[in-house]
Structure formats: C-alpha cells, structure tokens
Amino acid sequence: MATLPLSIAIQACCLNCGITESSKLTATNGFRHRDKAMHGFVKLDAERKLVFREVVQNFNENLPRDHNLKVYAKSQVSVEPMEQRFSTGTETEEIDKVSTYLFRTEIGDVVNVFVRKRNAKYTVNIEVPSSHLSSNDRRLVLRWGMYRADSSCFVPLDFKSSTPNDTTTTLETPLIQTSSGRFTLELEFEAKQIPFYFSFILTSPADANVSDMEIRSHRKTNFCVPVGFGRGYPGPLGLTFSNDGPMNFAIFSRNAESVALCLYDNTTAEKPALELDLDPYVNRSGDIWHVSFGSAWSFVSYGYKFKGNLLLTNKNNFDEGHVLLDPYAKVIAKSIPNNHGTGLKYLGRLCEEPAFDWAGDVRPDLSMEKLVVYRLNVTRFTEHKSSQLPTNIGGSFSGLTEKLEHFKDLGVNAVLLEPIFPFDEQKGPYFPRHFFSPMDCFGPSRGPVSAVNSMKEMVRKFHANGIEVLLEVVFTHTAEGEALQGIDISSYYHVNEVEDLEARNALNCNYPIVQQLVLDSLRYWVTEFHVDGFFFINASSLLQGFNGEYLSRPPLVEAIAFDPLLSKTKIIADYWDPHGMAPKETRFPHWKRWAEVNTKFCNDVRNFLRGKGLLSDLATRLCGSGDIFSDGRGPAFAFNFISRNSGLPLVDLVSFSGVELASELSWNCGEEGPTNKTAVLERRLKQIRNFLFILFVSLGVPVLNMGDECGQSTGGSPAYSDRKAFDWNALETGFATQTTQFIAFLSSFRKRRSDLLQKRNFLKEENIGWYESDQTPPRWEDPSCKFLAMRLKADEDEVNQPGDESSHSWGDLFVAFSAADHSETVVLPPPLEGMGWRRLVDTALPFPGFFSTDGEPVVEQMVGLFAYDMKSHSCALFEARSL
C-alpha cells in the first residue's frame, strides 16, 4: 500500500459558524461513541430550511434527552495551532487524513477536536480533559448542531429563552470517560452531508449536581470546526486545482465583513444549491478569503456574496444579495438572470482550463519597426453573411482563422483585436466585466470552453503564418453594476469624489490589489494564449494616483515595463477614452519600453491634406515624431493611424465635414455626403490614396482599420456604435480592388526599403533633405505653403541588393506631397552617378498605373535636370536605381 506524505502543519486560526438558509441537501446522521455503538439515524428535509432547525421527533427514542434550544450564533473561538495529518502505510485503507483543532476554554484547558475522512464518511472526535468537572459528578454532555452559514441568517445564542414550542433545536449527546479520565465522543457523518460547520458547547447533564454548567471557548463563544472542507490557501487568487484533486478558492476583499461562497449544481438555477459563509478567523489571511473543497462534487459553477457597510458608497446602489463573479475565474459562463434585468449574468465554472497542445508554436517575435497592424472587431469582421462562413463560425475566432489569407494579401503581419474580455453588451467591448477569459460569444459554439480553444487555435495558426496577435485591453474602468463594485468598491475604484471618476466606474489602477490584478491578467494572456502584445486603452488614466492626481512614476506602468514575463511583448499606450472625453495631452513615462498610439500623426496629416496644416508639422510626423519619441525611444515606438474604430472611417474623412464634425478634421472634397460628381469623386479617391501613402512612407508603425480597404462608411457618424459588419462583397468592387492592391504594394515596399522606412532609430540629419517644388528650402511656418518634398538618402553600406535583380541596386528615395488645388512642376535633385529616377507612385494617375513595382523612368530634360508634373492633391514617390 502506498504511503502518504508526513504531517503537514497548518497555521493557527479561529473559527466561527453561522446558519444557511439555502441547502438542498437531505441529511442522514449516524453517530457513535468509539466502540460502543449508539446509532441514531434521521432523515431531514432541509430544502430551504436551517440544517437541524426543526425538531426531530424520533431522536427522542435514541438520545438520553432532547433540549429545545436556540441555534448556535456566529462564534469567534480561539484555536491553537491546527495540524492536518496524513496516515501512512495500511492505515490509508480506513482514514485518509486528520485535521486537528485545539481550543482553549474559559478556564485555560484545551479541547481537542479531530476531523477525519474515513473512506466515504467523515468523523468528528472530541476529547475533553476531566479537570473541567467537579469530583461530585463526572459526566459531560455535548450540545451540538450542524450549520452552513449565511450571515444574514445568524441568530443570537440564547439557551435560556428556549421554549417547548421553539422550532429551533440542537442535539445533545453524552461523552464517554476513558480509563485515563478524559472524555471522548465520536460522531460520524455521511459524505453527502458535507460541507458544514460543526458547532458545540459542553454542559452537564440535567440531573447533575452542578446545574447549568457550560464550557465554552475563552472568548465565551461556541466551539466550531469545519467538516468536509478545508481552510484553503490565500494564493493564487481565483480557483485552482491541486494534483490530488482538491479545489482552492481565494478572493480579495479588504472591507467585506463576511463572504459567502455560492455553489450551483445547475447552470439555469436562480439560487445556489449551497451557500457557505467563510469564517473570518479560519478562511481569511490578511485581505484574502479562501477555502478548499474536494473535487468529487456535482456542482458546476460558483460565485460569491459580500456583506459589509464599507462595501457601500453613497452612489453605489449595490444589493448585498447579489452573487458576484470571481475576478480571477478562468472559465466563465452566462447562467442566471442578472439583477439589473439586462440579460444573463456570469458565474465561474467549476472546471479546469481546457488543455491545449502548443507544440510547434513559435512566436513571430517581430521587432516593432517591422510591424504592419490591422485593427478589427472579432464579431463584425466575419458575422456578415457575405463572409460565406457557417453561422457558428461567423463572428468568432475561428472566423478570423478562415479569413487569414486576407491579412496576408494586404501584407499585414499583426492583427489588433478590439477588447475580447466579457463586457457590457449594451455599451460595447470597451466596458469590461472581467479580465481573465474571452467573451463566450467569440467561440464557435458560443460557449466558454469553445471560445478559449478557438482563440488558442487562431493564435497558433496566425503565428504559423508569421502574424502576431495584439489585444486592446481596458484596465482603467469597468462596466456598471456587477463587475468589481460589490466585492470591494473602495479598494478597486476611485470613490473619493475625484472629478467624475466615480461616476465613470474608474478603477484605482495604482492601488496594490488592482495593480496585481492587471499584472496577473496580462501574464495570463501571454502564458495561456501566447498573445504578443497589448494596446492599453485610455492610457492616461493609468497615471492617476489614489486621489486622481497624476503620478510621475505610476507603479503599475513601471511594473509592466519591468515585468520579466512581459519583457518580450509589445506594450502600447493608447489615449483614446471610450467615455468620449478628449484625450489628455501628457508625457507618458516609458522606461524605453512603452510605445504610444500617435494621435498627433493622425491630426497633423489630416490637417495637411485638407490644406490647413503647417509643413513643419507634416515633416515631424514623416520623420517619426521626434517631438514625442526622441526621449530615448525612437520612431519604432510610434503607432501611426489615419482612422480608427471610433471617429470617421477613411472613406467618410473625405466625404463629410459638417460643423458637427469639426473635431474630425475632415474635408468633403467639395460636396457633403454621397455625390455623382466626377471631379469630387476623383478628388476623394486621390485623398484616400494620399492618406494611405503618407501612413506607409512615414517612420513608425502603420495601423490600418477594418473596412477602410473596401470603403465602408458609417454615413458620416463618428460613433463607435454605428460601425457596421465587414461586407465581404465590397471587396469585389473596383475601389476595393485597387485599394487592397495599393496597400499590399506599400507593405511590400516598406519591407524592401526597410533601410529607410523601417528604422528603429531616427534618420541622421545628413540622410534627409527637405525641398519646395523648385528645390528651395521649405517655408516651414507659412500656412499658405501646401507642398513639401523630402529626399531620403541611403547609406552606402545599407544599399539593398534584391536576389532577383542582382544587376541593380536601390538608392535614394524622393517623396513629394501636395495639398494645393493646382498642379506643380517638381524639380528632382540629381541622383547619384550611374543612377536614374523612377516614378513608383503617383496618386493622381488612374488605376492600375498609379503605382508600380518596376516604376516608370523620369526623363532627364537636360543634363542633371529631372522634373515631374504633379497634379493637385496628390503624392508621388521616386526611387533612384542603377541605369
């Protein structure tokens, strides 16, 4: 017979017990005095009644006498060091383990209680020294009861007030005195009765010479021990499974006065099958509440109830009766109607995370300057019937996998997913309820396990094709209601009337427990889902302290920067605020690790192309935004975009510019909204090309937005809610054909000329030149100037040699940008000896000739003079090549 481990010591603790109102168990009790059998079996209908709360009539025949007593109140009894011992050798056939509790009594003696699991049953053995008794009467009786705790059902302990008509009872059992003088009693319980608290006091028999003797703990409370469950461990937080089967639950709440674990045996049940208060003396370590159970139960999901005056604020209408989701639950599912009438609520599933075989998965580990990012919404990307995917695949992670070729056709090597955490379905994905699992609607079967497995499969497939997976994450606020508010609102949230932070459910990100939650969540997504990076939405709020003040060294931002597990992931600060607030201009502390979404790039490029920007602003963005990223980082830390999932999409930027859209910096190109005018349509098409062109020839990381490649419109609405599902039929239009091919060309060109366009560091001053159309220096601060040209000079040791064109080399680049409403004759600088200029892009030309890999040679008009006619509102790209 295999042996079990040696004794394991468990920390000293105290116990209390209460009563539950929600047990569906039917109890069958048997108890015995050591070897002298004394059996009393009784069946109790405990449905929605207190365990042992009704009088058990047939116990009268088996017990010496029956007392009608008040049920035991919540107690706080002292317990000396408790040990949990494991038997060895053949003893394991009978006893699995023993938990020992040592109570101090009012007079300083010790009462020993042993809780054993013997095969499928549990025994409680009490040992009491005889020094408690007088020499006149050496008898002792145990008054006891079984309770599962619901702190709202605690009643005071008052034996004196019991009356014959009182329906609350406890049981009374005599102890047996051994030859050594100690008193003992052993009670046996069926496994199906667990878990419960066993609460008792010691008293003298009714016919004893010493009347009304009661022995209690030194706190003058009941003795109380847990049966069928353990103290548990404070870490890790959430639900964890040990190798030998037991489940450990751990959750943070500093201000809760009581915490109840609620277990459900049916996913559709409105009320838990079992509700058990966690004893603050046994099941609490610091601010962590914890408990452990065996795994052989039929419960399928769990949640928690929290009570305490400090959990409430003046603006928090939280109901203490709500069952809340474990913030660290890894597998969650909608089950029962929530308390706000807005759909189903979430509970944690009592199951281990599904196993997944990551064998062969290799992260692309692309350097940031090499990235071309495509932002998308998982549901909207493939839910439209035009995707021609089965209904269970459309709108899911599996749908992204099916459309992987679209990303490859565009030349994209990173996809950025809008938030996939469970969220408020009325407000959208930027209002999360949870941080450790994907929304179940993203799975093919719309279930939690399906979502987890399909996301992992999607990530593995993308990695195999050289594409990284980035996530937008929101850690600055949550949805209203049942997120973290009821667990401990004053620890998790800003509740100090700071601006409007409280009204916005703003998380107190730099509070230690919130910081730990964020770090644990990020690590989880990296280790379990192999995610390659994160965009932190509303990042300026990550800098706020406890009272809303801005910190120069916010602990969370610094911890993320130096976390060893996150060291190889991309971490990007995005200042967009889902609440519609204007992004706050702030210097983000980066420790040379944090990149940033470059909002200034978007604004300055939009201003230039509508004819209202300064040349100096455009030049700054083209060169990698040195005003932001020259502080020890570089242009690779700038994530540039023209349009995003909020605000106007690309086609609407050139179609709508009403007064209400002033903040969008858009231009309708001559007529508002849809039009049939050829001149306006041609101008709009050129502007769309110009936006994409500038995005790809600028230093930094280009970020494309879903639907822009096929001209999807919101009808001029900047609202996120007006974004539509991706229409795959639109990819067949002439506009989409030329736009997708142009994006693919630009992606390929950036990669081919990485020496100039994919720089981790800024260009040297001698490697860049700036010109007006006649080769004179630009008038940087003149708002009337609407033309700018730049020459990017390749280092001689960085000249690329293409494998299929070994007889040619690539030299300098000359790039021209015109926002003028008239044509310009552009004078190109003379190329290096033995080279000539070739025009690769002219956004004013018709498709398919407006871009070309081979290019068209620029004719030398006279010795050393190269000139090119550019039309209004256009951009052009020239490359020097060997003749």
Element (H, E) at 144: strand 141-147
Residue 730: what pLDDT?
97
Highest mean pLDDT among 360-364, 586-590, 859-863: 360-364
**Residue 219: exposure state from Cβ atoms within 10 A (0-12, 13-18, ≥19):** middle
Residue 586: what pLDDT?
79
Residues 6+ away with beta carbon under 8 Å from 393? 382, 399, 402, 444
Q: What is the pLDDT of residues 747-764, one digit of tens each?
A: 999 999 999 999 999 999
- The domain made up of 229-349 has a fold known as Immunoglobulin-like (2.60.40)
- Supply 810's token pair: 């690539």
Residues 6+ away with beta carbon under 8 Å from 667? 609, 610, 611, 653, 654, 657, 687
The separation between CA 129 and the C-alpha centre of its own chain, rounded to angstroms, equals: 54
| Nearest CA among 426, 271, 269 for reference residue 342 | 426
What is the phi-psi region of residue 232: left when phi exceeds 0, alpha when psi lies from -120 to 50, beta otherwise?
left
3-state helix, strand, coil in the chain (%, to 5): 25, 25, 50
Element (H, E) at 628: helix 626-629
Q: What percent of the chain has pLDDT over 70?
A: 80
Q: Among all chains, which residue has been given the structure tokens 């703990």?
A: 217
Q: Domain 765-796+808-882 sits in which CATH superfamily?
A: Golgi alpha-mannosidase II (2.60.40.1180)
pTM: 0.84
Question: Of 489 and 839, which is predicted with more confidence?
Answer: 839
Average pLDDT, stretch 64-72? 33
Q: What is the distance between the alpha carbons of residues 2 and 539, in angstroms, rounded to a whole number? A: 56
| Nearest CA among 219, 234, 284 for reference residue 79 | 219
- Supply 417's token pair: 């997913």
Residue 189: what pLDDT?
87
Say which range, 32-41, 323-332, 520-529, 844-853, has the weakest mean pLDDT.
32-41
Q: Please check the confidence at residue 166 and state whether its pLDDT lies above 50.
A: no
Q: What is the distance between the alpha carbons of residues 750 and 757, in angstroms, rounded to a whole number? A: 6
Average pLDDT, stretch 632-641? 97
- Supply 579's token pair: 């609440």
Q: Please check the confidence at residue 10 and state whether its pLDDT lies above 60.
A: no
The separation between CA 881 and the C-alpha centre of its own chain, rounded to angstroms, equals: 50
Half-sphere exposure of 187 (CA within 13 A, CB side): 25
DSSP 608: H
Query: Residues spanned by CATH 2.60.40.10 within the chain?
Result: 98-156+168-227, 229-349
Q: Among all chains, which residue has been given the structure tokens 């179609």?
A: 655
- Phi, psi (deg, nearest 5) at residue 408: -65, -35
| Nearest CA among 846, 851, 850, 875 for reference residue 787 | 875
DSSP 36: B
Q: What percent of the chain has pLDDT over 90?
A: 58
Element (H, E) at 124: strand 121-128
Residue 133: what pLDDT?
66
Residue 136 pLDDT grade (very low, low, confident, very high; cuts 50, 70, 90):
low
- Which residue type does 648 have? L
Residue 801 pLDDT grade (very low, low, confident, very high; cuts 50, 70, 90):
very low
- Supply 634's token pair: 């570089």
CATH architecture of 98-156+168-227: Sandwich (2.60)
Q: What is the distance between the alpha carbons of residues 413 and 373, in angstroms, rounded to a whole number? A: 6
Residue 195: what pLDDT?
81
| Nearest CA among 752, 647, 760 for reference residue 705 | 647
CB of 632 within 8 A of CB of 592? yes
Residues 6+ away with beta carbon under 8 Å from 414? 366, 371, 372, 373, 374, 467, 468, 469, 470, 532, 533
Q: What is the distance between the alpha carbons of residues 292 and 155, in angstroms, rounded to a whole number? A: 26
Q: 3-class secondary structure for 257-284? A: CEEEEEEECCCCCCCCCEEEEECCCCCE
* Residue 41 CB coordination number (10 Å): 12
Question: Of 544 and 701, which is predicted with more confidence?
Answer: 701
**Residue 842: exposure state from Cβ atoms within 10 A (0-12, 13-18, ≥19):** buried
**Residue 878: exposure state from Cβ atoms within 10 A (0-12, 13-18, ≥19):** buried
Average pLDDT, stretch 680-684? 98
Helix segments in 734-826, DSSP class H? 734-752, 754-757
Average pLDDT, stretch 814-829? 96
Q: What is the pLDDT of residues 409-464, one digit of tens each?
A: 999 999 999 999 999 988 999 999 999 999 999 999 888 999 999 999 999 999 99
CB of 78 within 8 A of CB of 104? yes
| Nearest CA among 136, 157, 161 for reference residue 147 | 157
DSSP letters along 52-64, please? Answer: T-S--GGGTTTSS
| Nearest CA among 603, 612, 622, 675 for reference residue 821 | 612
Q: 3-class secondary structure for 349-386? A: ECCCCCCCCCCCCCCCCCCHHHCCEEEECHHHHHCCHH
CB of 117 within 8 A of CB of 193? no
**Residue 737: exposure state from Cβ atoms within 10 A (0-12, 13-18, ≥19):** middle
- Which residue type does 21 have? E
Q: Please check the confidence at residue 510 and state whether its pLDDT lies above 90.
A: yes
Average pLDDT, stretch 606-623? 97
Question: Of 83 and 567, which is predicted with more confidence?
Answer: 567
Q: What is the distance between the alpha carbons of residues 74 and 175, in angstroms, rounded to a whole number? A: 24
**Residue 847: exposure state from Cβ atoms within 10 A (0-12, 13-18, ≥19):** middle
Q: What is the distance between the alpha carbons of residues 644 and 691, in angstroms, rounded to a whole number? A: 13
Q: What is the pLDDT of residues 150-162, one digit of tens each?
A: 433 433 333 333 3
Q: What is the pLDDT of residues 189-211, one digit of tens each?
A: 887 777 888 888 898 887 666 65
Q: Please check the confidence at residue 470 and state whether its pLDDT lies above 60.
A: yes
Residue 97: what pLDDT?
72
Element (H, E) at 852: strand 851-857
Query: Residues spanned by CATH 2.60.40.1180 within the chain?
Result: 765-796+808-882
Q: Please check the confidence at residue 12 and state whether its pLDDT lies above 70.
A: no
CB of 329 within 8 A of CB of 348? yes
Residue 656: what pLDDT?
98
Say which range, 68-82, 377-391, 644-658, 804-818, has the weakest mean pLDDT.
68-82
CA dihedral over 854, 858, 859, 865, signed as positive or negative: negative
Highest mean pLDDT among 81-85, 96-100, 800-804: 96-100
Q: Indicate the average pLDDT of the chain.
A: 83
Residue 382: what pLDDT?
97
DSSP 254: S
Average pLDDT, stretch 782-799? 86
Helix segments in 530-625, DSSP class H? 555-562, 599-609, 615-622
Q: What is the distance between the alpha carbons of residues 85 and 5, in angstroms, rounded to a whole number? A: 9
* Residue 798 CB coordination number (10 Å): 11
Element (H, E) at 774: none
* Residue 854 CB coordination number (10 Å): 9
| Nearest CA among 244, 327, 346 for reference residue 289 | 327
Residue 313: what pLDDT?
56
Average pLDDT, stretch 121-138? 78
Question: Of 241 and 118, which is predicted with more confidence?
Answer: 241
Q: What is the distance between the alpha carbons of residues 440 and 329, in angstroms, rounded to a whole number? A: 13
Element (H, E) at 783: none
- Give the max Cα distance, the chain: 130
Residue 579 pLDDT grade (very low, low, confident, very high; cuts 50, 70, 90):
confident
Residue 171: what pLDDT?
84
Q: Please check the confidence at residue 638 and state whether its pLDDT lies above 60.
A: yes
